[in-house]
Amino acid sequence: MSDQPPQAAPPPGDPDPSATPPVGPGGAAPTGPQQPQDWVFPPTGGYPAGSGPYGGQPWYPGAPVAYPGQPGAPVAYPGQPVHGWYPPGHGLDPADVLVTPPGAGVNGWFGRCVGAVRRGWRLLLPILLLTQALPALVVSMLSLVVDPSAKWEESMAGDPAALPDTFLTDTVVLLSVVLGSALVFGFVQSLGWAAGTWVVTRQAAGQPVSVGAALSYGVRRALGLWGWTLLMSVIIGLGVCLCVIPGIYFAFALSMAGPVYLFERQHPIGRSFRMFHDRLGLLLGRVALVAAAVIVGSGAASMVEGIGTLPFGTTPLESPGTAVGVLVVTLVGAVLALPTHLAQLVGLVVTYAEQRAHEGPVDSARLAGELG
């Protein structure tokens, strides 16, 4: 039995002085601060550029970020920001107003869509009016000019079972005018989609925007976007001819091709297909919500236009009064379709940003820089 009093237990959190120190390489005790036993070195997400044991190495994303409120989320001390596995400046910001972080769900996606509309509607509506509504108005009026239905009714009055004498010629003229004008104004509409994407992204990044600068950007990107849009339209059209369902599949699978071209400018069709199949449920759900908004909105506008033009008969352009009336009704229908164009633009841009977040760290500033 020893006469020495027993040693006091060390305070909580301090190492036991009687414990055997850890042995490093060569039998020497390691120097410097030691990491707790449960830590992983290197961190799960890798090193930011210029840090770690190999300076200058690029940053590679690691495990998904755990955000506040989710299991495993990091706890911040008072006055300190909360960060996930990615270090500040190198990861996903759960407060980003454009990029929906993984795990935020449809509520996070919808909230960012609403935020983009609130920030940008004053600029987006004039852009969409010039590049979407007015071209649609011109196409509708040209269709009325070459519409042969009144002439066909007169020709078929004597024999309803017989085709009109000019049926083939009139049909060719009608299709040529409608398709030709749609091709021409498709370039203008592509300009508008590019300009609107520029506005939504730069506003989210806190960068200055204006209608003139947006249209200038749209002019630079319109030709390429128009070409890819034509190719996608052909693919979807062929799919519709194959019992409709393949066309619906192609429409969903190609939904990200436009944003991919604007932000990445390479392989838009292949990238869109890969995004669709890599996260099928997520992308299908988001695009389905956008498609539902477009169908409901455009259907309501078309119904108003159709009902409004009924009183003017089948030949509304024969007199100045009815011509003005049908022009006003068609213009109202085009304006009523503006919210539909706005929902489609914002919904697809926010969905693309969410897809990028699932592939690696990204934020609004980086996306704005990629637009060029």
Joined together, the tokens standing for residue 269 give: 């069709």
In-domain check, residue 211: yes
- Residue 7 has a pLDDT of 54
In-domain check, residue 261: yes
Neighbours of 334 (CB within 10 A): 22
Neighbours of 363 (CB within 10 A): 21
Joined together, the tokens standing for residue 226 give: 């128009």
DSSP letter (8 states) at residue 130: I
pTM: 0.74
In-domain check, residue 69: no
In-domain check, residue 51: no
**What's at 82, amino acid-wise?**
V
Q: Please identify which residue in the block is written with the tokens 């249209």.
A: 215
- Residue 228 has a pLDDT of 96
Joined together, the tokens standing for residue 348 give: 């697809």
In-domain check, residue 322: yes
In-domain check, residue 117: yes
Domain that holds residue 327: 107-371
In-domain check, residue 8: no
- Residue 298 has a pLDDT of 94
What value does the CA radius of gyration of the chain take, rounded to a whole number of Å? Answer: 30
In-domain check, residue 73: no
Task: State yes or no: cis peptide before 42, omega within 30 of 0.
Answer: yes
- Return per-residue pLDDT of the chain as tens, 372 residues: 445 455 555 554 455 545 455 544 444 444 544 444 444 444 444 434 444 433 333 333 433 444 444 444 444 433 333 333 344 444 568 899 999 999 999 999 999 999 999 999 999 999 999 999 999 999 888 888 888 887 777 777 777 777 777 888 888 888 888 888 888 889 999 999 999 999 999 999 999 999 999 999 999 999 999 999 999 999 999 999 998 999 999 999 999 999 999 999 999 999 999 999 999 999 999 999 999 999 999 999 999 999 998 998 878 888 888 889 999 999 999 999 999 999 999 999 999 999 999 999 999 999 999 998
- Count of structural domains, the chain: 1
